[in-house]
Amino acid sequence: MAGKPLKDALRPLRRALPSARPAVAPAPVAAPEPVFAELFADVRPLKADQRYPHRPAPPPHWPRHSTAHHPHHASTAPSSQGQITDSMVGWFEPATLDASFVRPGMQRHTLKKLRQGHWPQVAELDLHGLSRFDAQQHLAVLLHRARQLGQCVRVIHGKGLGSREGLPVLKQVIRTWLRHHPHVLAFCEADEARGGAGALLVLLRRES
């Protein structure tokens, strides 16, 4: 109850204090923004001189480090190089076409027996309309699978009369590629009834 006399004593003082609240300062008025045209009224544009700066081409990108300095690349180099060179066979064809081919070591009458149908034909492949790279892939698959069935296949590459280059490109690259294929023992042009100069009879190595 000691606090009540104190409150009664302070009550007159509280009534005597002014009740006015502190005045709040008014917000400053922002100055108007200048007009852009008035600021640069005396500026005159420069005349075009029709000159263009020369920008040289960027230098070619060269690897900072050669694979020769990294021993861990040496193990993959031979296999990748072999794959590249194998795919390049047939890119550089001779100027003449081979009507026939027989691998060294074969018998003298191999081509004659091939023309006469001594080996039964087990498969054939028509490469009309394919590019040289697609034709090579299709032919590789045919030779791989045909060896499981027999030794003779017929490959139709066309005579090249409709070639845009004016040369029998597909006819030339197929014959060149067959000469380098390890499973091809011989090939010769088919007779007219089976395609003539636009088809080949191919003799394959027996599957071991």
Give, in order, the Cα–Cα distances in Å from 195 to each of 156, 177, 181, 198: 7, 20, 22, 5
pLDDT tens digit sequence for 25-43: 677 777 777 777 777 778 7
For residue 10, what pLDDT is reported?
74
Which ranges in the chain belong to alpha helices (H)?
3-16, 36-39, 77-88, 110-115, 132-146, 169-180
pLDDT tens digit sequence for 86-102: 444 444 555 567 889 99
For residue 84, what pLDDT is reported?
42
The residue ranges of every structural domain in the chain are 97-204
Question: Could you tell me the pLDDT band of residue 113, with boundaries at 50, 70 and 90?
Answer: very high
Question: Could you tell me the pLDDT band of residue 74, with boundaries at 50, 70 and 90?
Answer: very low
By percentage, how much of the chain surpasses pLDDT 90?
36
Six token digits for residue 59: 């230098």
> Looking at the predicted structure, is the pLDDT value of residue 146 above 90?
yes
For residue 116, what pLDDT is reported?
93
Between residues 208 and 149, the one the model is more confident about: 149
> Is 0.85 topped by the overall pTM?
no
For residue 181, what pLDDT is reported?
93
> Looking at the predicted structure, is the pLDDT value of residue 69 above 60?
no
Between residues 161 and 192, the one the model is more confident about: 192
For residue 183, what pLDDT is reported?
94
Q: Which fold has domain 97-204?
A: Ribosomal Protein S8; Chain: A, domain 1 (3.30.1370)
| Greatest mean pLDDT among 2-16, 19-33, 86-100, 183-197 | 183-197
**Cα(178)–Cα(180) distance, rounded to whole angstroms?**
5
